[in-house]
Structure 1
Amino acid sequence: MSFEKLKTILPVPNLAISSDNSSKWSEVENNLGVVLPSDYKELIALYGSGIIGNFIMIYSPFTENENMNFFIQQNLYKDAYLTLKVSFPVDFPYEVFSTNGGILPWGRTENGDTLNWIVDTNQGDWAILVDGGSGDYFEFKGSMTDFLYDVLSGSVVCPIFPNDFPDKDSKITFVGLKD
């Protein structure tokens, strides 16, 4: 699926907050130790850090907003997930990144669900995993922009999300969140 398809239902904002600084992507990826998916980098370049449909928040490595900063949120999620995994291994079966096949968060919802990639450094095809907490997961085989398009268009229903998302009566918007 083309990134262009997502733009048909999610208008690009006039001003992207904490958007791509293309000279900094190599630094971001060196810090992580992995090349991030190109659709994520393109989304950050066009939209920046913000919230889709008053529900899905997208992290950016370029924001100073701690609640939206990719690195800060990755570390917080990893620590919490690993702590819970020790006590409840059945409910928290995934490994975390930097393990190949581990999960790496790229966003979250207003309900506290975490949106992750399942990192595959061998093939580069990273699936999406929605972590609803307490052992509730939804796996999507496709890219982040495929997932966003399919959920926002209603062609895929994520059982972890509320039944009224996305709101069929409202236009879907992206609102940038300030640093």
Structure 2
Amino acid sequence: MTNLSDLTRLCPPPQTQPDPIDWDRVEAELGMHLPEDYKLLASTYGPGRFSDYIGIRHPNGVSPYSSLTGPMPSRVRAYLQDDYDQGTYPVPHNPRDLFLIGSTDNGEYLLWITDPADAPNTWRIAVNEARGPQWFTMTGPSRPS
């Protein structure tokens, strides 16, 4: 079973087929290629939330603020860069290598670590603690470090 088939078994996708995504346009607009598993997830589920708690950025987001290509990824990167430069919170990765992919209702950010930039299928996920200094980096399936 793939990770997506596990997810669709636990959380069935919407009954209606999501709108198609022009991945070439999205990647050109972002200036980077995206992980194949993300493209499959976004194409299968469309925009929305999981358990009314985790929001995943999507090319067809319902607003510019929930869109993968909207203003939030660059705003969050600038916010993290300020923290990184000032030492406010110990951002464990270079903010230039972080790209916002989602968030929780508590305020945690889910970010791709886009290094190496030319190998998106190897990118890991970093998650910050919403009201504290902790960061968690996913090193692989279900293995936070």
Q: Same fold (TM over 0.5)?
A: yes
Query: CA separation of 1:42/1:20 partners in 2, compared to 1, >3 Å: closer, same or farther?
Result: farther
CA apart distance, 1:113: 0.2
Do 2:33 and 2:118's aligned partners in 1 also have CA atoms closer than 8 Å? no
CA apart distance, 1:11: 0.8
Report the equivalent of 1:82.
81
CA apart distance, 1:96: 2.6
Report the equivalent of 2:72.
73
% same residue: 24
CA apart distance, 1:135: 2.5
CA apart distance, 1:60: 0.8
The alignment partner of 1:79 has SS state of helix
Instruction: Report the residue type matching 2:107 in the other structure.
Output: G
Q: Please list the CA deviations of residues 132-166 of structure 1 after superposition, one character each: whole Å capped at 9, or x if unmatched.
A: 24431111123xxx4xxx5xxxxx6x79xxxxxxx
Q: Which runs of 5+ in 2 are unaligned?
A: none
Do 1:16 and 1:49's aligned partners in 2 also have CA atoms closer than 8 Å? no
CA apart distance, 1:62: 2.0
Of residues 89, 101, 108, the one that matches 2:103 is 108
Query: CA separation of 1:14/1:61 partners in 2, compared to 1, >3 Å: closer, same or farther?
Result: same
Q: Which runs of 5+ in 1 are unaligned?
A: 151-155, 160-179
TM-score normalised by L of structure 2: 0.82
TM-score normalised by L of structure 1: 0.68
Q: How does 1:3-22 map to 2 (within 5 A)?
A: 3-15=4-16, 19-21=19-21
- The question of 1:121 aligning with 2:117 is answered yes
- In 2, Cα distance between equivalents of 1:90 and 1:56: 23
- In 2, Cα distance between equivalents of 1:34 and 1:68: 19
| CA RMSD in angstroms, aligned pairs only | 2.4
CA apart distance, 1:64: 4.6
The alignment partner of 2:95 has SS state of coil
Structure number with the bigger relative contact order (C-alpha 8 A, sep ≥ 6) is 1
CA apart distance, 1:70: 1.5
Aligned residue pair count: 140
Q: Please list the CA deviations of residues 21-64 of structure 1 after superposition, one character each: whole Å capped at 9, or x if unmatched.
A: 2xx21111112222101111111111111111121111112225
Do 1:49 and 1:60's aligned partners in 2 also have CA atoms closer than 8 Å? yes
Query: CA separation of 1:93/1:140 partners in 2, compared to 1, >3 Å: closer, same or farther?
Result: closer
Do 1:56 and 1:110's aligned partners in 2 also have CA atoms closer than 8 Å? yes
